Structure 1
């Protein structure tokens, strides 16, 4: 598989990273709530719906690079840092010395391109439609501080409540609806197209690329094997573009599917195992003879690649190499933002004696951030995962932090006396400002006279334009 190109500056890459959602797949509905799952009783042509959006004259899917919005993002600390500590570290080989504290920033960290792009488009939408009601069909990204900033801009975020469908009935025909970075289901796209609202689509282009792959599977009468988490918004949206699908979360489940393709098995056991992760009326005995692979963009690229090889080998073994293309479709849909951050973390922790502790910054509901924390824990390095600087008490030298497995702990006297080497990284939905605020509290604990980092204009992060 060909890997997507990387960006020119360390710490920024394309893609979208997210979290595991602890909730069931949304049930199909044709009411005004528009709460949907991957398949409805009536098949909707996803590609046709997406193409029709452009014809409405009410649809935007590209950033406008509005300078006023960019300035506001900088003011609110929800974009890439251009003057603060992180920006200055980028120009100093990702290192910083502040009194007795030396900080080493991971080579790849923080916002991926798809996340920053989505936030930027939401800010631009508020600027472009100052007098209209704005709604987002979910959190724009999985970062509480960023979403709170959007609420402060009077943008309504419609979140799904436990065991309840989303209610879109409050959205009127003259309103603006923003689709989040994870995308929206094909049923939601159709409903808002027909409702007459202005649509701002911040879906990460790499997510949309996966949708194209699933669309191709449908046209070739293939079942989509989707590497992802069945309850994650992105996977829910991707599955909605498929006619037939199975969602597998890891290599173990992928191997189970491969074994079933080769040897058959207990159909009821299969359907029970994937009860929340298959399309309606799925029949593994008849729907696994032609398959294609797609993925949730936040899954590990190495696992997706390995699944592709497993499925390819399975199909060749069953049907022969000469019929591989008749029974298997493989397209390049890999985004490596998550993997890059993990690779950088492995490098940061390679020498257990090189750092005294690790700081991981990111939302407590972020699965990609939890994996970063897990790496340092496995290396036996003291590691503290916080979602914001508010978790650190300067007065008490204490920190409220989370482990990779979800335990919330308070550690007192966590910063020891004397020189410290601190490694730091952040999840893919974490703006640079969050890292800067955490480090400033570290500096303040070690030196009560610390008053902050003097801003300095730095070179901007180079990102793709489309």
Structure 2
């Protein structure tokens, strides 16, 4: 992973401007949904967010005077010579009786690179300030550990969606993570005497613009996402009326209620944590718009969209679909590219002779978890690890299953043959983490082969 500071920031800043609420507002106009203070001009939450951006204490484009040093630091900490060798050798390498096939798209996306760079620049730019971050910067343990070592304080979660902002004092610096922060958090911080460094990925902001369009059209937002995930929490904070569905099963429950009605109390009980306050399914599912957490499995989002379109068509007729349903694709390009690349590994698994596919990335990382689902659903042995030390010298591996359980089981099963594996990593995973994991496997295979040879000598 070689980051060019100038290139990353040119793309990032251009993307921020392309996805900015200002540019969308100029194209679409806006209708007021609420007033923020008595006597003030009514405005939408999106317009409120624009107001935050105008503050001299709100920073979205980094700090140029420290950029070169930050670029060098990031490359030193997160790049990998082994991964560079894999890419230069057509994504295949053989070493110590191990053959590795690397997915063609993997690892850090530019949005994550941008977020890390902005956070590191904030640390360098404010050397004498106390720094906080409202959530993990990204879902990767190594990156978050680095920020902790740099004395960036992770604001404590108190439960029920609350955080201990009492630790934030006048003059402090608060970093908003790549997932974004809720409207309420941004509003609270805007009113305090603090510097705000916003590292929100522009693709997340794009989703916020989409749900804003739902509100202006009088639609209820259906969010394909995990209601407790930081990104979805932020997205729903920009909605008026919403319901979250995590998968096709929940989407089918919503579609069935849309078409046929049902037990209102049971429905609300099931979705009690995933709907807006005062949600009324009998009224609020008449007109809906679909958006999604940017890291969800794109094929599932498309299937969910088709389900709702079909439901609307059956209920209101084909000519009324546009009046009752709106959809805009908000899956991140990087997410889709990584899903396509691991799909290619799966499709070629038999030809390659893969023993398993290794997925490297934070256990809380949604986009990484979806990479695991692809080989799992095709019956290919696969493991999702968050650190290299999940692979132990006793030939066991500790990994996260598709059901979310952390389990430990035997790892290398057939010691009489060379090992062949595929490897990929999530969009928040540094190349160095992939190198560390592969190095563990090389070492383990070497140890197992040596032990086998030792046993053969003794038997002779």
TM-score, normalised with respect to structure 1 = 0.79
Mapped to 1, the partners of 2:132 and 2:86 lie a distance apart of 36
Q: What's the secondary structure of 2:163's corresponding residue?
A: coil
Runs of 5+ consecutive residues of structure 1 not aligned to the other structure = 1-12, 15-38, 449-466
Partner of 1:359: 358
Mapped to 2, the partners of 1:164 and 1:306 lie a distance apart of 30
Is 1:74 the counterpart of 2:71? The answer is: no
C-alpha spacing 1:126/1:267, structure 2 compared with 1 (3 Å): same
Is 1:302 the counterpart of 2:315? The answer is: no
C-alpha displacement at 1:222, in angstroms?
A: 1.4
Q: What's the secondary structure of 1:308's corresponding residue?
A: helix
Mapped to 1, the partners of 2:250 and 2:444 lie a distance apart of 47
Q: Deviations over 1:91-150 (max 9, x none)?
A: 221111224222111122222332222112111111121111111100011111110100
C-alpha spacing 1:269/1:84, structure 2 compared with 1 (3 Å): same
C-alpha spacing 1:174/1:315, structure 2 compared with 1 (3 Å): same
Mapped to 2, the partners of 1:415 and 1:363 lie a distance apart of 28
C-alpha displacement at 1:168, in angstroms?
A: 0.5
Runs of 5+ consecutive residues of structure 2 not aligned to the other structure = 1-10, 13-33, 448-460
C-alpha spacing 1:133/1:422, structure 2 compared with 1 (3 Å): same
The answer to whether the Cα contact below 8 Å between 2:93 and 2:101 also exists between their aligned partners in 1 is yes
The answer to whether the Cα contact below 8 Å between 1:134 and 1:156 also exists between their aligned partners in 2 is yes
Partner of 2:137: 140
Partner of 2:28: none
Q: How does 1:204-215 map to 2 (within 5 A)?
A: 204-215=201-212
C-alpha spacing 1:321/1:72, structure 2 compared with 1 (3 Å): same
Partner of 1:259: 256
Is 1:239 the counterpart of 2:236? The answer is: yes
The answer to whether the Cα contact below 8 Å between 2:297 and 2:370 also exists between their aligned partners in 1 is no
C-alpha spacing 1:416/1:374, structure 2 compared with 1 (3 Å): farther
C-alpha displacement at 1:412, in angstroms?
A: 6.6
Is 1:385 the counterpart of 2:384? The answer is: yes
C-alpha displacement at 1:157, in angstroms?
A: 1.1
Partner of 2:268: 271
Structure whose residues are more often helix by fraction: 2
Q: How does 1:450-465 map to 2 (within 5 A)?
A: none
Mapped to 1, the partners of 2:391 and 2:136 lie a distance apart of 26
Mapped to 1, the partners of 2:230 and 2:161 lie a distance apart of 15
Partner of 1:122: 119
Mapped to 2, the partners of 1:316 and 1:397 lie a distance apart of 55
The answer to whether the Cα contact below 8 Å between 1:49 and 1:189 also exists between their aligned partners in 2 is no
Q: Deviations over 1:343-366 (max 9, x none)?
A: 322322333461233322222333
Mapped to 1, the partners of 2:440 and 2:322 lie a distance apart of 57
Partner of 1:131: 128
Partner of 2:95: 98
C-alpha spacing 1:367/1:407, structure 2 compared with 1 (3 Å): same
Partner of 2:50: 51
Partner of 2:150: 153
C-alpha displacement at 1:279, in angstroms?
A: 0.8
The answer to whether the Cα contact below 8 Å between 1:136 and 1:157 also exists between their aligned partners in 2 is yes
Mapped to 2, the partners of 1:283 and 1:86 lie a distance apart of 51
Q: How does 1:174-189 map to 2 (within 5 A)?
A: 174-189=171-186
The answer to whether the Cα contact below 8 Å between 1:121 and 1:202 also exists between their aligned partners in 2 is yes
C-alpha displacement at 1:414, in angstroms?
A: 5.5
Q: What's the secondary structure of 1:169's corresponding residue?
A: helix
Partner of 2:284: 287
Partner of 1:317: 314
C-alpha spacing 1:94/1:222, structure 2 compared with 1 (3 Å): same
Mapped to 1, the partners of 2:250 and 2:331 lie a distance apart of 19
- Which of residues 200, 214, 217 in structure 2 aligns to 1:217? 214
Q: Deviations over 1:48-82 (max 9, x none)?
A: 221112221111223557121111112222xxx2x
Partner of 2:345: 348
Mapped to 2, the partners of 1:84 and 1:254 lie a distance apart of 44
Partner of 2:332: 335
C-alpha spacing 1:315/1:200, structure 2 compared with 1 (3 Å): same
The answer to whether the Cα contact below 8 Å between 1:181 and 1:203 also exists between their aligned partners in 2 is yes
C-alpha displacement at 1:271, in angstroms?
A: 1.3
TM-score, normalised with respect to structure 2 = 0.80
The answer to whether the Cα contact below 8 Å between 1:352 and 1:379 also exists between their aligned partners in 2 is no
Q: What's the secondary structure of 2:428's corresponding residue?
A: coil
The answer to whether the Cα contact below 8 Å between 2:133 and 2:155 also exists between their aligned partners in 1 is yes
The answer to whether the Cα contact below 8 Å between 1:398 and 1:414 also exists between their aligned partners in 2 is no
C-alpha displacement at 1:86, in angstroms?
A: 0.9
Q: What's the secondary structure of 2:179's corresponding residue?
A: coil
Partner of 1:31: none
C-alpha spacing 1:53/1:104, structure 2 compared with 1 (3 Å): same
Q: What's the secondary structure of 2:284's corresponding residue?
A: coil
C-alpha displacement at 1:415, in angstroms?
A: 7.5
Aligned residues: CA RMSD: 2.8
